Structure 1
């Protein structure tokens, strides 16, 4: 076979086609590998998201439990303060019964007038 420009062109075009075919094969392989890596990354991200949401839910439940106990503590403190106030008022009434009666009478009269 002689080396003519036409034969050289055919040979070069064949080499070009083979190179393009190999490039397409390599590109497809790269895309498959990228898709597999992306899928694996999505699975990892999904697992991390589930773990984080679970941790958040646990922390929220713990906070609610603590809130319940804190509320009870506040109610107990208020009840103790109320008892102290009642005891203080009882002591004041024992010390000054006439003044206490006068104040109670005046308060009752004022409430009655406002209620009419």
Structure 2
């Protein structure tokens, strides 16, 4: 029986190191593939979540626009009612005091005419 030489031991140890390197490379490749698979799945899940949130945002925006339109309509109706009340009130005042109303209208016309002449000069 011959004793292994230092060169034989070196070859054996280098072979073992090479085997370990191959195993490490294989493990790293599998880890990268697994991570890529998981990352791909996470990316798909994230994309689905983004689409869902954007869709809900659009729906909320549409609801807000509808509510804004409804609120504007309510305000317009309230202003129209106030305008009608003001016209009714003015009509009633004119019926009750026609001479005073005529005098006020005449004075207002005169003031407007004076303002119109003075701004033209």
TM-score band (shorter)?
over 0.9
Matched residues in 2 for 1:83 and 1:48: separation?
52
Match of 1:69 in 2: 70
Matched residues in 2 for 1:4 and 1:114: separation?
122
**SS of the residue 2:100 aligns to:** helix
**SS of the residue 1:75 aligns to:** helix
Match of 2:54 in 1: 53
1:79 aligned onto 2:85: no
Match of 1:97 in 2: 98
Match of 1:106 in 2: 107
After TM superposition, give the deviation of residue 51 of structure 1 in Å: 0.7
Match of 1:2 in 2: 3
Match of 1:43 in 2: 44
After TM superposition, give the deviation of residue 83 of structure 1 in Å: 0.7
Unaligned runs of 5+ in 1: none
* Range 24-33 or range 84-93, more displaced: 84-93
1:14 aligned onto 2:8: no
Give me the TM-score of the superposition, normalised by structure 2.
0.89
**SS of the residue 1:2 aligns to:** coil
Provide the aligned C-alpha RMSD in A: 1.2
Unaligned runs of 5+ in 2: none
Give me the TM-score of the superposition, normalised by structure 1.
0.93
After TM superposition, give the deviation of residue 14 of structure 1 in Å: 0.5
Matched residues in 1 for 2:63 and 2:24: separation?
57
